[in-house]
């Protein structure tokens, strides 16, 4: 039997064919994230939504500034002091990559360091982070957990070391994972390796989108920070049509942030993947009886 997502994708493909045959135009959806090209040269979220007959646009709302890289580089050079690694965002992996490039550690990493880290556990959230972890030569586990809370449950289910897990993270990381590990007596050393700041082009990009595309049928927020930095502009630009927009969250932490702002959440993706998000948006919008 087809899985729910597979059935949805098949239905969406059929819907797209009907659209191309002359049915009313595609619905417009707005994704508040930066573009990440896959092997096909296209952002996988855009690709998946196009398969569903939706016209998606990406607008980046966040920028990242790296910090404490010398300290991170030093810790990466001594895997014997840690029980493993935790990555909950692509930026944390990028920080590791920067350390290797800036400190000329690439050779040492390839010769021995990556294998010494691979002898331990390398925990990740989400397929995007897992892919980046794999690209620097590390074996990721826990990617299917989908969010920090489920990853913490996964880590707690594994045999633990007396050595701390190294957790490179952003300055505004959630408390869920650290608290759950602490409650279970699992040692962890977190360090801030990047900070999140508003993307300088948020206002201009949103104004251009609304001027050229009009009011989107749906808007997806990908993080509490993205919500924080963009909501005011969206409210002003949407005016009286604001209540008509279906607001979607990529995960539970973003859902909680939206609820705290009094924003109605039409859907939370079952996992932070293009397929799950597309299925959720189609269910909310229900065009052409898809999903």
Per-residue pLDDT at 124 exceeds 80? yes
Q: Which residues, 6+ apart, have CB-to-CB distance to 131 below 8 Å? A: none
Contact (CB, 8 A) for 278 and 51: yes
Contact (CB, 8 A) for 193 and 92: yes
**pLDDT tens column, 231-245:** 999 999 999 999 999
What does the alpha-carbon distance between residue 150 and residue 8 come to, in Å, rounded to a whole number? 25
Contact (CB, 8 A) for 218 and 265: no
CA angle centred on 145, ends 143 and 146, rounded to 5°: 90
Provide the 10 A C-beta neighbour count for residue 221.
29
pTM beyond 0.85, yes or no: no
**pLDDT tens column, 266-275:** 999 998 889 9
Indicate the burial class of 65 (C-beta count within 10 angstroms; 0-12, 13-18, 19 or more).
Answer: exposed
**pLDDT tens column, 157-201:** 998 889 999 999 999 877 889 999 999 999 999 999 999 999 999
């Amino acid at each position: 039997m087809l899985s729910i997502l597979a059935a949805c994708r098949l239905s969406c493909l059929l819907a797209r064919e009907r659209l191309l045959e002359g049915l009313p135009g595609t619905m417009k959806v707005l994704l508040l994230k930066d573009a990440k090209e896959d092997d096909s040269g296209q952002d996988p979220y855009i690709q998946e939504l196009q398969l569903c007959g939706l016209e998606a646009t990406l607008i980046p709302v966040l920028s990242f500034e790296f910090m404490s890289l010398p300290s991170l580089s030093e810790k990466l050079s001594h895997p014997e002091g840690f029980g493993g690694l935790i990555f909950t965002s692509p930026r944390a992996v990028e920080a590791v990559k920067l350390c290797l490039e800036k400190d000329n550690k690439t050779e040492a990493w390839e010769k021995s360091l990556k294998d010494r880290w691979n002898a331990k556990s390398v925990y990740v959230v989400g397929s995007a982070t897992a892919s980046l972890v794999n690209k620097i030569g590390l074996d990721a586990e826990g990617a299917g957990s989908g969010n920090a809370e489920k990853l913490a449950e996964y880590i707690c289910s594994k045999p633990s070391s007396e050595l701390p897990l190294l957790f490179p993270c952003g300055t505004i990381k959630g408390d869920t994972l650290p608290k759950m590990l602490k409650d279970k007596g699992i040692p962890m050393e977190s360090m801030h390796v990047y900070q999140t700041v508003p993307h300088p082009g948020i206002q201009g990009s949103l104004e251009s989108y609304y001027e050229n595309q009009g009011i989107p049928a749906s808007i997806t927020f990908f993080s509490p920070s993205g919500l924080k930095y963009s909501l005011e502009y969206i409210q002003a630009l949407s005016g009286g049509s604001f209540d008509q927009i279906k607001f979607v969250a990529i995960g539970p932490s973003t859902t909680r942030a939206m609820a705290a702002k009094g924003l109605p959440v039409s859907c939370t993706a079952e996992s932070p993947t293009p397929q799950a998000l597309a299925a959720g948006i189609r269910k909310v919008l229900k065009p052409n009886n898809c999903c």
